[in-house]
Structure 1
């Protein structure tokens, strides 16, 4: 048995390791077209590697995948977050859970995960070839012929594809050549560019612990921490929103309006009552010196300036009209988004191999026997928080079993 695993990322390494463990006698070769392996693992989570998530309920876990929930349920029945934790701990890598349920190696260093995977590939004597990616794959009666540049080729009985997502549809043409349908890719997990809002962007680095962000004119809404950057808005709330709205936002060419609720209080009547109580309690204080809802100082100053409110006004003297304007700014602060920013090293796509053409109990192609898929090459993506890596570990592990 000769097995080729194409793609040296998280899913590819895990598939190759799984394959060798389940089929000790197999000759397993792991191909990576670049000179670097596990690049996304290295940079993810700010260099700490968000391995998985501490969300224990399977149904809750699956709710974090805009695409692939139903299919991944089958795969997670074979290898899930608990299995991931146990696997890494069996290799001497202890993981920790943070308050937001993200899980990292206790070392807070992604190199720990990179070294673990590379060491396991070396220990199992898996042949790792870098700067070596096939330019085409042909299925035949005995398996597959992989063709490389300089007219080189190699034969394998099984192939596992784990090449990751592609930003362009033509990047999947070689998959189409194998007879598979591909859902055209669009970016997922990106930040919102807001040109022309210099005063907003002057607050670069400001973080709001709990905000609500809504795409105007749609039902798309997410909440969570929000971050102001030098190009606009980012943070978990925006990244989650970009994932769930990936196709809708691509259709409008990333030109749309967002409404930001800076307080996280979703009910206007509740917010109004809380603000009234605050105003009564701070009646003789200037609005510039007493801010409600524990808002960051810079944000409060920014909102007051945006509304052109007199900062020397005391809370008891705010006119009803100004109070209504303030409430609207806190609940429905509006911005025009024109474009997006994605981080090349952590690029995630919505799109890929059509899920209907893959058996998620084995990750085998329903069209081509002995051809398996793993990772972001599939039309599966999760929100930020370790969910994309869990999909990579699970699909890689199951694919490596080769239908066993």
Structure 2
């Protein structure tokens, strides 16, 4: 029988972060991490395109919680205890300097997720934390003042357990056996699959500031929009996917979106086009982009308005002008399916937040059972917010575990 004071299930960001903090606060505690894979921290490895988007440069708790479609209310208190500034300080103390990019995302200055991985592995080694790979949890039960955890070939005992497995259906089933309510998981951060001739030939084009609506819903976002080889991505789409996770799942990811590429009302746009028609009468419409739109996108919207490559502004008729205004301000696209955002996979769903004490991250149903990270029904928009949730929950849980 393998006996530990604390066992952390899950060798990801939250698991390593919690283990390190527990061992630092209480060096006498025997701490172990159980990881089902052959190596841990795989999500850290692929995060941010391999650079690891550690957190986001938002330093006001009330502003920070606005990035969490699920967990907004619950995270306000925890963020007053540990948030962005604390995360930056924590890593800097361990020799990892972070930098802020123009969009607020924060990465290690090395631009490599391996920097974060090395930091965690060095700290766990320094503190004597055991990392047990290839351990798939099969069951967990409380018996004789200890938690008994069974993996495929080993039984472990621990006084305190932290579940930090992220989105894991098998773990959620085990927690259901402990009478925890699990909110059914659905994908949260994903891109939209769109097959449309207007965008077929222009993958890689970015419109910097658009408005996107999901028709027949109240879902609407603003921000950059990226045309991909299968449809649309970038913050405007990813925010929609996060806030609309439940609704879009019910629609089976088949719906229509309306895009305002220039964030003007139709009439305002039409008036502007009429002015351009007068000012640029001898110029070809197709050749010169307007409204600061990417040239290739402008050209596709012009063609979709029934305006060929050779027509001059003076030759555009009223119907073509109105159609172009519609394409610019209320273009409709059919979405038919979704794709994973890069190599990252985030879900809405998990342990019901009503069953967790967010002052300690301890289960309200079972003493000495804790949760951190995406095993809970908490998820965020892209930009480092999901990691900040992991750091905060892991730190607060670690404090409570170490001080018992």
Tell me how far 1:238 sits from its aligned partner. Answer: 0.6
CA distance in 1, matches of 2:131, 2:96: 22
Contact 2:61 2:80 in 1 (8 A): no
The answer to whether structure 1 residue 314 and structure 2 residue 321 are counterparts is no
Q: Match of 1:57?
A: 60
The aligned length equals 399
CA distance in 2, matches of 1:201, 1:229: 9
Q: Which runs of 5+ in 1 are unaligned?
A: none
Mean CA deviation greater in 218-227 or 141-150: 141-150
Taking only aligned residues, the RMSD between alpha carbons, in angstroms, comes to: 1.6
CA distance in 2, matches of 1:377, 1:129: 20
- Residues 345 and 6 (structure 1 numbering): CA distance in 2 closer, same or farther, change over 3 Å? farther
Contact 1:6 1:133 in 2 (8 A): no
Q: Quick one: which of 103, 106, 122 aligns to 2:106?
A: 103
Tell me how far 1:53 sits from its aligned partner. Answer: 0.6
SS in structure 1 at match of 2:383: coil
**Once superposed, which parts of structure 1, at least 4 consecutive aligned residues long, lie more than 4 Å away?**
none
Deviations 1:145-193, CA, capped at 9 Å, x for gaps: 011223x211100000001113x5x651101011210000000000111
The answer to whether structure 1 residue 68 and structure 2 residue 67 are counterparts is no
Q: Match of 1:354?
A: 352
Q: Match of 1:90?
A: 93
The answer to whether structure 1 residue 136 and structure 2 residue 136 are counterparts is no
CA distance in 2, matches of 1:89, 1:188: 31
Q: Match of 2:187?
A: 187
Tell me how far 1:140 sits from its aligned partner. Answer: 2.3
Deviations 1:263-313, CA, capped at 9 Å, x for gaps: 2x1433443344344333323211012221111121112112222213322
Q: Quick one: which of 113, 117, 121 aligns to 1:114?
A: 117
- Residues 96 and 344 (structure 1 numbering): CA distance in 2 closer, same or farther, change over 3 Å? closer
CA distance in 2, matches of 1:34, 1:52: 25
Q: Match of 1:385?
A: 383
CA distance in 2, matches of 1:119, 1:63: 34
Q: Quick one: which of 156, 161, 164 aligns to 1:162?
A: 164
Contact 1:78 1:361 in 2 (8 A): no
CA distance in 2, matches of 1:273, 1:175: 60
Mean CA deviation greater in 177-186 or 301-310: 301-310
Q: Match of 1:178?
A: 178
Mean CA deviation greater in 126-135 or 335-344: 335-344
Deviations 1:90-112, CA, capped at 9 Å, x for gaps: 11111111111111111111111
Deviations 1:39-84, CA, capped at 9 Å, x for gaps: 1111111111111111222211110000001111121122111100
Contact 1:282 1:290 in 2 (8 A): no
Deviations 1:331-375, CA, capped at 9 Å, x for gaps: 111111111111584110100000000011100000000000000
Q: Match of 1:200?
A: 199
CA distance in 2, matches of 1:346, 1:162: 17
Q: Match of 1:218?
A: 217
Q: Which runs of 5+ in 2 are unaligned?
A: none
Deviations 1:370-391, CA, capped at 9 Å, x for gaps: 0000000000000001000000
Q: Quick one: which of 298, 301, 308 aligns to 1:300?
A: 298
CA distance in 2, matches of 1:248, 1:283: 46
- Residues 16 and 344 (structure 1 numbering): CA distance in 2 closer, same or farther, change over 3 Å? farther
Q: Match of 1:239?
A: 238
Contact 2:191 2:341 in 1 (8 A): no
